[in-house]
Structure 1
Amino acid sequence: MVSDKGPLVADRYRLTERIGSGGMGTVWRAEDHVLGRQVALKRIHAPHHLSDDELSTLYERTRREARSAARITHPNVVVVHDVVDDDEGLPCIVMEYVPSTTLGALLKERGTVLPQEAARIGLGMVAALRAAHAAGVLHRDVKPGNVLLGADDQIVLTDFGIAVTSGTSTLTRTGEMIGSIEYMAPERVRGRKPGPFSDLWALGATLYQAVEGQPPFRRDTAIETAYANAVDPLPPLRHAGPLAPLIEALLAKEPDERPSAEETERELKSVVAEEPTRGRAPRQDVPVPAAAPPPSGTVATPERTGGGPRKRRRVVWSAAAVALTILAVAGATYMWPDGGGQRGGGEAKPSASAPPPVPRGYHLVEEKKLGVSFPVPNGWKPRDRTGDGVKYIDPSGLVEITIGTVDPAGPSPVAHFRDIEANTKKNYDVYRRLRLDRTTFRGQPAAIWECTFDGRVRTFRAIDLGFGREGGKEYDVYLSAPDEQWDTYRPVFDKVKEGLRTH
């Protein structure tokens, strides 16, 4: 921090200490001479390269921050006291002073936090977002640097400077993207209208960084980061523990595949309630059956229970369309956490429903009887093809990927996996559950199961995702491999899962 006595603003607020600075302004601790209290005062920057019209827009954004935040009354949202102009005519927002550090500063110092601590912080954030959304306000810049960590475990979400209130102008030129690109939801990168689920994606990106040490799609440039947000699969979570299913769900590419704020809050509470015994075990999002290359076929390809496929067609963007939209519209500005900016130009419209590109080293297979298509590593061969499932085996014969269906699906993927688990325990002398969690996938109820079990000569590890609705059709994606080779084959699961399409 820099101790630096400042001027008197609006004949009332004496600036006493600079406590933060970002791309849009500098925050000062100040003394309110009228009420005799400490406040935080945000003075915005006036970049010299902006035109008069652009400066006018910037000033109006700042005034809108005050109006937006003032609409929200909640202990997890910073209180706005006043908005005034300084001697240079620059608007300043006067807020409650929260003696604190930010989550961003904490992560810069410590790298990561434990999953339970991340979940506790996430609970404060989602409570703030629920209050904001109920007041018709989108934050649009949720990130670690805007999360204050105060005394007595206080969590406060601040900086509504680019917030949008329902029914107001966005105050941006066509195609302009305002916000921190590393936490910008795919639909915003693609030029779509943001909504509450965009803030939840940013919450997911923040939680990802909290447990993994960096944002999920960080790249060398703003353009590459934006492209990765929109197109790239989520990098595996290795330290998220019980938070992994929720983080993966929040970071879904399509808004309607993400959990609601209420569902997010419930999941975070369940994680906070857990004992941190598993600490920082490597973990990911989707779960897990029990038996792949095993001695008994009764568990190797277990039947599933779950739900039906999506009723409407999912909109998928081609890589080319995303790239053009990212480079989009003239003057699009991407704000980095340090306040730097990069520009791109030109608007493009997405192509309709093109599937994601087949990963290098894979080929697309279509199983017409199952009504699915998905990528499979080159060299893997089909085996045990039935009316409700198919298995592909790697050249060693020890690794399998299975796509299964259950029609009609039972009441709950979690309950069904528990039934399979009970059968698994009967078939394997050594079985260990790593996780069996309830989650969502593509907007449907889902379960993730991950475990290890001993085969005849080696230990195997397996992961299974089941998703669907009761009475519909459940789809399952299952991978098993020798435990000692898990890091090599685990990415296959992600690629097949992300590439799975139902017909």
Structure 2
Amino acid sequence: MIVDRGLIAAALPDYEFGEPIGSGPHGVVLAARHRKSGVVCAVKVLTAPESGAFLAAPDHPHVVRVVASAARDGLGLVVSEFVSGGSLTDRGNSAPETVCAWGLAAASALEAAHRVGVVHGGIKPTNLLLDAERALKVGDFGFAVLDAGAHGSPVAPVAHEPTARYVAPERVLGAAPDAPGDIYSLAVVLHDLLPADAQPMPHVAALLLRMLDDDPLERPSAGECVAELAAAAARDLGPDWPWRSAVPLRVAAATGAEAARAQPRLPGFGWLGVPARSGGSAAPPAVATSAGPHAAGAAGKPAAAGAAGKLAAAGAAGLPAAAGAAGSGGVAVMAGPSGAVVVSGPARGAVGARRAWVAVAAVVALGLGAVGTGVVVLGAPSQAPAPAVALAMPEEAGALAVHHGAPGTPTRLAYAPSTDRVAFVDATGSLYVWTPNQVWAPGKADAVGPIRAPGTFGDVRFDDTDGSVVTTGTDGTVRVWSADTGKQVGAALPGLGPNPTALAETGQGGYLAVADATGIRISRNGTFVAMAPGVQVTARGLAFSPDGKLLASAGPGGVQLWDVETGALRTRLTGATGNSPVAFSVDGTHLAAASGKNTVRAWDVGTGHPVGPDLSVGILSSNSAIAFNDRGDQLVTAVGTTITRWEPTTGATVGEPLILGNGATSATLNSDATRVAVAFDDGTIRVHAMF
């Protein structure tokens, strides 16, 4: 396809374009960069007029996000986030834990799409992409519409095309793309990724066989796949399998009636493997092996192929047994580092009053509350005890990950800008660096630390360029620490006054700004000099603009913007108060700050005037967190026990607020406001997702 760059540039003037990074039957993909924000994107240039169907892609953490589209002279242009980790092509023989995590992410994305009537129609390895953290994202939503032809009639794939392997049998016969077809395609992908010599996984294999059923009506829904795959993997691989996968997961927990519809239905077993109350066998049905997933098995059903056949053939010997008995309320037990953690629920589906974004661990733990009778130990068979890892505790339901620290309240939280790391000072005064998504094994610390320094720590921040941790201290110094080892990097930088309250750092020119009892100081040529003497700053009330040219300060005198080079006061934000941290948008054009005791607002940086109404967020403090998303069109606030997404120019909320349990004391958001780390007074730090 010949690309007319002039035509594309005229249609998308806000972007500058690079070289082609991919191609396909419908067009090419160009690298692009947003001129104002600098964000790297991918632009699909399509020849089909139906390209607008791409905008049907759901807003979901495991779906490649579409940010803009345009049409010009017969071309469809779709701008999406750039996913840098490649695809699942040539990722065969991956660890079973990794494959299950990828499958769970893809099924969750499909559930979100199917729920609003969107069908993918082209699930295959090349459309399953990995980001820099190895999180899976489903790309190319909308090709189902493109493949349907101009009059809505589907185009049957040719048998020798590489993608035909992933097409459901009914589509080969002419049926239109539908949700069951997506499920079939996903099962083939997962089957191909599993290693041929994988350990016996009878529960996972049984689910794959159901997903490959010749009858589309007999295949599980995407929501059922989420719940069943989480439970099956926990039974076959042990309850700590998500940690061992090292794959970030953001999966929705089904609640209420959804949970009832999403119960795993293993042959001869009740929910989550509890023996059925009457009838049924303890073993999965016999399955045949064949050369491919399309081959027919017993009773006309598709037989397991390759790895799946080997896994399913393990039979009853690999099935974990139910243990003990329970009262009529239903109790489920999961092994934990401090003994058994009990999760109970009086009735089926009683797992909460709303939908919450949770890690796969919480999907399993929440679902356990719906067991009718009996007790299930998630893990290996009784002769091999489950690893001592608690994936989720009742009060932590909804968290992507949880760090259990010293009793007391952690303070001074900071989220790394480009990696999934959280720095904090625990109740003992020691600094730690926690990586929520790292592989964690029993007996192994999940955080780097304790890190100690003379005096006590003041503010804590991450370096924007190398991810190291920067701290202030009551000894009048700034120190830099390796986030990987906890060791100090270089010598301490002296020159601070007493009682440092706030710290800001930028990779642009290597500036550090610190507020102490004498005012604001900034580092120049390796030493601190006075920039704004006498200006008092709220704890954590400093922030550099993204280009490093402005410094915002919040304090008793309101919110002020300073020129970093000259130290001159640039402007004051009209009506802004200084009782909370401040945050710039990614392009530096807007600043969010407190506008009252319990309100937040956005301001235009150039004029100092507000650009939207007051947002009622609750009582603000230095422990609150404020951040824009990576497009600058949404603002996330974490105040008290409530985390909310807003449209700052209209004051409208986006989605339902995330309500945390009692004991939340402080919070910090990552750079694109998709994750929040919250400290609780029991010594835990919990990471939640905001989408």
TM-score, normalization: structure 2?
0.32
TM-score, normalization: structure 1?
0.43
Select the structure that is richer in helix: 1
- Structure having the higher Rg: 2
Higher relative contact order (CA 8 A, sep 6+): 1
